[in-house]
Amino acid sequence: MAKQKTPKQSERRELTGLEKLGLRVSAMINSPKAQAEHCVTVHRLDTDSDEAWNAVIELLAEEDGIDMTFNDDGSVKLRWHLESENDQQAEELAPVDEMVVQNLAEAPF
């Protein structure tokens, strides 16, 4: 007997451009190399819309402790600092971009 799909299974929602970009930036920031070096360079892909790119850059710019350098090639270098030993322990528990990911998930657009 063939298994019928329930409405929830057949109505799989595709990620928006903003969500895809947010996940990509989050993965880059959370990579072991970026966490060890406290920096990462984010490149804009041809598939990233102006709206999604600008929204993510704006959210990152609003975060305290993140320095942004805009490169000639269109990429953005993100740097973050450890203020004290307590911050280093907090970083081990929660990645730097946790608030950015929450903001992206809650974005109304």
Neighbouring CB atoms inside 10 A of 97's CB total 25
- For residue 80, is pLDDT > 60? yes
Render pLDDT for 31-55 as a digit per residue (tens, 0 to 9).
999 999 999 999 999 999 999 999 9
The first and second tokens of residue 45, run together, are 């892909």
DSSP 80: E
Say if residues 85 and 92 touch (Cβ distance below 8 Å): no
Which pTM does this prediction carry? 0.65
Mean pLDDT to the nearest integer, 54-67: 94
Name residue 73's amino acid.
D
